[in-house]
Structure 1
Amino acid sequence: MQYAELIYDALLETLYMVSVSTIFAVIIGAIPAIILTLTAPNGLKPNEGVYKTLDFIINILRSFPFIILLVAVVPLTKIIVGKSIGTTAAIVPLTIAAAPFAARVIESSLREVNPGVIEAARSFGATNFQILTRVMLKEALPSIILGITLTVISVISYSAMAGAIGGGGLGDIAVKYGYHRFKTDITVYTVIILIILVQVVQSLGNFIYRKLTK
C-alpha cells in the first residue's frame, strides 16, 4: 500500500498519545475519586463541603467539549511542553479531558463495593485507610479495570480529534490526506484501524476483568 509507512507512523503516534495520556489521567483521576468516595454522605469520612465542591469541579471539567478544551489549554500546554502542536503537546489536553472521566469511573467502582464487606472489615477493627486499600480497592479492581478500558477508548476518540488541529496520529493523517487531498482510501484505512484498536482495547479489558473475577 502506497501510504503504509505513513499510516504506520501515525498509528505509533496515536498509541503513544493514548498510552501516556491514559496513565496520567488514571493517576490524576484516582486522587479526586478516592476523596469523593471517602467524603460522600455514606462514605468512610463524610464531608459535605469537600464532596460538593470537588463534585462540582469535576462536573465542570467533564462538560467541556474536547475541541474547545484543546484551544483553551494552549497556554498551559506551551508552559508544560514548550509548544502547542505535535504529538507530545496533545498529551496535555488529552490528560485534562480524560482525568475527570477516569475520576468518575473509579469513584463509581469504589462506591459499588458491598457495604456489608466494609462493615465486616470495620468490625474487625480495620482503620479507614486499611478499609480503603485492602478492602475497597481490592473489591473494586475488576470494575476499575473496565472503567479504565472505557477511559482508553475515550482517549482514542479524543486523540483523533487532536490530530485534526496538529496533534499528530491517525486523526492528523485522515485530515491532511483523506480530507484535504481527497484521498478517501486513507480515511477508510484510518477509520478501520481505529475500530480495530478500540476492539482490541475492549477485548483486553474484558479479558483482564474475567481473570480478576475468577
Structure 2
Amino acid sequence: MRDDLFDLLWEALRETLYMIAWSSFFSLLLGLTLGILLVVTDKGHILQALPVQKTISLLINGVRSIPFIILIVILLPLSRLIVGTSLGPTAAIVALSIGTAPFLGRIIENSLKEVSGGKIEAAIAMGASPLAIIFRVLIPEALPALVRGVTIAIIGITECTAVAGAIGAGGLGSLAIRFGYQRFREDIMIATVLVIVLLVQAIQLTGDFIAKSIHNRRFKIE
C-alpha cells in the first residue's frame, strides 16, 4: 500500500459522511411528510382526500421509476440553482435527498399503516385533533418500524453516494473510480470497498440497536 492511501481514504470518507448526514436529514423531512400524507389522506382516515393521496402516490412512483444516475443529471440545474454548483458533495445532497425521499416515504407509509385502527379510533373518540393523532399516536406507535425503515433508507443513501461519485460528487465512490479503477490502484479499490462495507454494517447495527431499545422499553412499560 502506498503512503497516500490513508489521506485519500480519510478525505473521501469525510465527504461521504457529509453527504450521508445532510441527505438523510432532508430526505427524512421530505419522506416523513410524504409518508404521513399518504396515510392520513387515504380512504377512511383522519384527513381523507383521495385526489391528494393519488397525486402524491403517482408523484412518488414517477420519481422512483427514474434510475438514480439519470435523476442526478436531471437535477443538476436545480443543484446549481440551490447551492451554486453542480459538482461536489454539497451539490449531490440535492439529488440524494430528492431521489431517496420517495423511497423513504413508502417505507414510512407502510410503517404507519401497521398502527392499530382501534388506537386511532380511541384518540378520535377522546377528541384528539388530526395533528395530535399524527404526533401522539401514529408516529410513537410505529416508531420501531420507522427506525428500521430509516436505517434501510440511510443505507440506500450510502450506496447512492457511490453512484453520485461517478459524476463528480466526491466521496468514496469517486475515489474508487478515479484512483482505484482509472489509475489501476488495487489497494485503493480494495480499501474503499472495505470502508463502505464497514460503514453499512455500522449503520445497520446502530439502527437495529435503537429499534430494539425502543421496543424493549415499550414492552417493559406495557
TM class by shorter chain equals over 0.9
Q: Secondary structure at the match of 1:64?
A: coil
Matches within 5 A, 1:1-80: 1=1, 2=3, 3-80=5-82
Correspondence for 1:148: 150
Q: Secondary structure at the match of 2:167?
A: coil
Correspondence for 2:201: 199
Q: Secondary structure at the match of 1:13?
A: helix
Q: CA deviation at 1:77?
A: 0.8
Q: CA deviation at 1:137?
A: 0.9
Q: Which runs of 5+ in 1 are unaligned?
A: none
CA distance in 2, matches of 1:200, 1:160: 17
For the pair 1:187 / 2:189, whether they are aligned, the reply is yes
Q: CA deviation at 1:120?
A: 2.1
CA distance in 2, matches of 1:181, 1:128: 57
- Aligned partner of 1:138: which letter? P
Correspondence for 2:219: none
CA distance in 2, matches of 1:150, 1:43: 27
- Aligned partner of 1:126: which letter? A
Report the count of equivalent residues: 214
Q: Secondary structure at the match of 2:127?
A: coil
Give the CA RMSD over aligned residues.
1.1
- Aligned partner of 2:87: which letter? I
Correspondence for 1:82: 84
- Aligned partner of 1:25: which letter? S
- Aligned partner of 1:98: which letter? T
CA distance in 1, matches of 2:91, 2:131: 37
- Aligned partner of 2:97: which letter? T
Correspondence for 2:173: 171
Q: Which runs of 5+ in 2 are unaligned?
A: 217-222
Q: Secondary structure at the match of 1:85?
A: coil
Q: CA deviation at 1:108?
A: 1.3
